[in-house]
Amino acid sequence: MNGREGNVREVALPVSALSTLRGALRGEAGPLATIHALHSAGFASGESVFDAFARTLRQPPQETPEGAFWSSLGRFLTRRGWGSLSHSAAHSGVGLLTSPDWAEAEARGESQPVCAFSTGLLSRLLTRAADAPVAVLEVTCRAKGDPVCTFAFGSVATIHDLYGLLLDGKGLEGALAEL
């Protein structure tokens, strides 16, 4: 904060800072601790990001029509350098956010999705917009060779169930059909 209520200082960092941070954390704390730390940091950061996003809207996010909300969020995140983001309703309890150029996934050759900071950030942002807890799970990631990053979101219970089905070897479409 710079001392004035509601004003948050921002800095621009190269995208490589995210993968450098992830690598340093992984080396010091291990892979699981890295995921948890980055997710927590993203979730905490999502508060300020939501406030900045809400200031760009003509009405409160909760009153913004769904289509306008998603297109505004996509433009907002693109302008901030995160990448393009499109929304689709994949299931009655699960939405998908997809990006062919998501910034956190610039690294290559990973075996698991790497956008833990982003899942936390998106979770907090969507939680604030919905006035209810929203969980986010990265289900495809460019860093591991997928063509796009895909973030599934919904209630904590639904996303937990989706994650379990994916761990059981179901593909995304099969897991969504089984929910």
Q: What is the pLDDT of residues 37-69, one digit of tens each?
A: 999 999 999 999 999 999 999 999 999 999 999
- State how far the Cα of 117 lies from the Cα of 122, in Å rounded to an integer: 9
pLDDT > 80? residue 26:
yes
| Domain annotation covers residue 151 | yes
Residue 71 lies in a domain: yes
pLDDT given at position 53: 96
For residue 63, the cross-strand partners are none
Cβ-proximal residues to 152 (8 Å cutoff; 6+ apart), any chain: 90, 94, 95, 96, 136, 137, 138, 139, 159, 162, 172
Whether 9 is in a domain gets the answer: no
Mean pLDDT of the chain: 93
Question: Does residue 170 lie in a domain region?
Answer: yes
Give mean pLDDT, residues 147-176: 96
Domain containing 82 — which CATH number? 3.30.1380.20
Mean pLDDT of 79-92: 95
What is each CA distance from 152 to 15, 24, 52, 133, 141, in whole angstroms? 23, 27, 23, 14, 12
Sign of torsion, CA 170 103 129 119? positive
Tokens of 112: 């698991």
Q: Quick one: pLDDT at residue 6?
A: 59
Number of domains into which the chain is organized: 1
Does residue 37 lie in a domain region? yes
Q: How confident is the model at residue 10 (pLDDT cuts 50, 70, 90)?
A: confident
Answer yes or no: are the C-beta atoms of 133 and 155 closer than 8 Å. yes
CB distance 60 to 54 below 8 Å: yes
Which residue in the block uniquely carries the two structure tokens 């010091």? 28
- Output the pLDDT for position 2: 43
Give the whole-angstrom CA distance, residue 179 versus residue 162.
7
Residue 75: which domain range?
Answer: 16-178
Residue 31 lies in a domain: yes
Q: Note whether residue 122 is domain-resident.
A: yes
Task: Examine residue 156 and state whether it is found in any structural domain, yes or no.
Answer: yes
